[in-house]
Structure 1
Amino acid sequence: MAQFDIVIVGGGPIGIACGLEAKKKGLKYIILEKGPIVNSLFNYPVNMQFFSSSERLEIDDIPFISKEAKPKRNEALEYYRRIVTGNQLNIRLFEKVEKVAKSDNQFEVRTDKNTFTATNVIIATGFYDLPNLLNVPGEDLPKVSHYYKDPHFYASQKLAVIGASNSAIDAALECWRKGSDVSLIIRGPEVGQRVKYWVRPDIINRIEEGSIKAYYNATVKEIKQNKIVIDTPEGTIELKNDFVLALTGYMPNFEFLENLGIELSDDEKRLPNYDPETMETNVKGLYLAGVICGGMETHKWFIENSRIHAKLIIEHLLKKELF
């Protein structure tokens, strides 16, 4: 059974930043990622463009050069992949963590392939794994997806996009431009205010000209094989439909955090208990890093403002003089 100073769960940008910092300080570490390098970014839409500029996505002062001020998914994959390979980080890919348990000041981390022990564990798993479900009949039909990849798939199809934030709006516009007949179903009275500032006018113009049909203050009642049923202020409407993209956001794996012993707030935010100066949770030796720190406030933490977590954690570990 391999023994480490730190096991880092999650090989996204912040997990990589933690690994870099640990390596610089001479700590024995390992990064465990259930998919490819930066698995969550890999699963983003193929044409996705970041809200942040490239310099705000940099880690460890390693320059991120992109063609445009705001890089796209493929450029980010290249950047983080080169960091991992160029620095020969100790990372295990396609190895899913199944359980983390603490006993006698040691953590045992069990994956689907191996078991590791460590004095400290960093959880940097993000929140992209679990979608916010609609909880309506028909949501489990094959035509329904909570993730969007490529607009070509939906060409010449009647597509319902559910949501009002960046992922939903990007999908609606891209699919419409590839020939989809797009209906946009929005729970509130308008397109989300957090939508990228250069995208929001585009979707509003497409709606106003009638290219994309938007239903405001609307909720999905049922999804059928060839239809989708929605409740609107004008009453219940049935729309002919081939595919549904339910892009209503995602949440952290709270069950995993609770099984680790991490305390969560009792309100709807479900904020984890940690010290913002050290990132250590109420479980000694167990740290959080990145967007998972925000609980249900998934718009609170991004790559650009959580990069500092790596340095905070490693500095605290060294101050504890455990090694």
Structure 2
Amino acid sequence: MLEACIIGAGPCGLAVSVELKRRGISHVVIEKACIVSTIYRFPTQMVFNSTPERLEIGGIPFYTERAKPTRMEALTYYRTVVDRLRLPLRQYEEVLSVERLDKDGAFCLVSRTRSGRMRKTEARTVIVATGYFDHPNLLGVPGEDLPHVSHYYRDAHPYYGQRVVVIGGTNSAAEAAIDLHRIGASVTLVHRGSAMSDKIKPWVKPDIQSLIDKRAIDVYFQSRVTEITPDDVSVDTADGPLKIPCDHVLALTGYHPDTSFLERMGVEIERETGIPMHDESTFETNVPGLFVAGVVVSGYDANRIFIENGRLQAPLIAEAIAARQQARVG
């Protein structure tokens, strides 16, 4: 019987593991992919909007070549944290269910390894730090499931000489449009808003605005995609319906947490916001012994919690678990 089990090895899940390890609390981190898999799936040339010290966990310095860390530097950093602190980690193992045990009010987690083997883990407390990147905000239009449509952007090279429709108006869409134009793709940007988001990184905003002003890319604001076919995209524009020929579609419309996973465990979810019911001083949910950490706490507004402030939840969660352990053992 472990004292705690953390579901998810993103930066916030690892931050909780660090704090539990410091307090000598037995635990394990179970991750269905690789560690910090969200960062791994970011565009290969991505640069963070934060300085390195705001991403640090465990008091381990984050050294970078420039003022802003890159995706590759972040991957190296979090691997270093796991290695140096010897965090108890099980990768490529997906948690399928979390059930309450009769004895002591603890939990039994059923998981499946990459080889298909089923595994049970018992823990007195569970911390859900699953993030949101696995669940894109779907357009809900015919053709969205076609093979040339993706909700993720990694690298521009495969799109050289291709016609690409980018859907969205936030940072992800802006960076993808810039990269694609630079490597020789024909880019069309479709966004339902009247302009690009104000939250775009300050060093990205001038570049995307320059492309728009020079008409180096085609842009349709106040427009909505209604259908995707193998050869084109149907769009309702401010000037009427339009078909845009294309070879690839990047629907970069954001992501959301899997609240259904929490609901199956008995966590109450605020319908309008998607925020799980929790104590803001400990991050324990309405289910005793079940905690939430990281961006899953923010519900549908993924811009409310980042690595920078999500990591600060870890000491509060660890202190609450340590107090429970102390009360039990006397």
Q: Distance in 2 between matches of 1:136 and 1:86?
A: 47
Q: Distance in 2 between matches of 1:266 and 1:148?
A: 30
AA matched with 1:315: E
RMSD of Structure 2 on Structure 1 (CA): 0.9
Q: Distance in 2 between matches of 1:103 and 1:75?
A: 41
Residue number in structure 2 paired with 1:108: 108
Q: Distance in 2 between matches of 1:136 and 1:266?
A: 24
Matches within 5 A, 1:19-168: 19-104=17-102, 105-113=105-113, 114-168=119-173
Q: Distance in 1 between matches of 2:162 and 2:211?
A: 18
Q: Distance in 2 between matches of 1:223 and 1:151?
A: 21
AA matched with 1:286: L
Q: Distance in 1 between matches of 2:234 and 2:280?
A: 45
Q: Distance in 2 between matches of 1:51 and 1:97?
A: 32
**For 1:251, what is the secondary structure of its paired residue?**
coil
AA matched with 1:302: F
Deviation at 1:40, TM superposition (A): 1.2
Q: Distance in 2 between matches of 1:291 and 1:189?
A: 28
Residue number in structure 2 paired with 1:211: 216
Cα offsets for 1:246-272 (capped at 9, x unmatched):
0000010111011011111121x1111
Deviation at 1:279, TM superposition (A): 0.6
AA matched with 1:83: V
Q: Distance in 2 between matches of 1:156 and 1:251?
A: 32
**For 1:62, what is the secondary structure of its paired residue?**
coil
Deviation at 1:231, TM superposition (A): 0.4
Contact 2:58/2:81 (8 A) holds in 1: no
User: Which residues of structure 2 form unaligned runs of 5+?
Assistant: 114-118
Q: Does 1:11 align with 2:28?
A: no
**For 2:93, what is the secondary structure of its paired residue?**
coil
Contact 2:132/2:258 (8 A) holds in 1: yes
Q: Does 1:181 align with 2:179?
A: no
Q: Distance in 1 between matches of 2:268 and 2:183?
A: 46
Q: Does 1:238 align with 2:236?
A: no
**For 1:100, what is the secondary structure of its paired residue?**
strand
Q: Distance in 1 between matches of 2:261 and 2:212?
A: 41
Q: Distance in 2 between matches of 1:286 and 1:243?
A: 42
2:289 to 270, 285, 288: 285
Q: Does 1:275 align with 2:275?
A: no
Moved over 4 A (4+): none
AA matched with 1:112: R
Residue number in structure 2 paired with 1:226: 231
Q: Does 1:198 align with 2:203?
A: yes
Q: Does 1:294 align with 2:309?
A: no
AA matched with 1:129: D
Q: Name the % identity.
A: 42
Q: Distance in 1 between matches of 2:307 and 2:3?
A: 24
Deviation at 1:49, TM superposition (A): 1.1
TM-score, scaled to structure 2: 0.95
Residue number in structure 1 paired with 2:116: none
Q: Distance in 2 between matches of 1:43 and 1:111?
A: 23
Contact 2:47/2:69 (8 A) holds in 1: yes
Q: Distance in 2 between matches of 1:190 and 1:300?
A: 22
Deviation at 1:103, TM superposition (A): 2.6
User: Which residues of structure 1 form unaligned runs of 5+?
Assistant: none
Q: Does 1:305 align with 2:309?
A: yes
AA matched with 1:238: K
Q: Distance in 2 between matches of 1:117 and 1:200?
A: 49
Cα offsets for 1:71-115 (capped at 9, x unmatched):
111000000001111211110010111111113311011111311
Residue number in structure 2 paired with 1:258: 263
Q: Distance in 2 between matches of 1:233 and 1:134?
A: 18
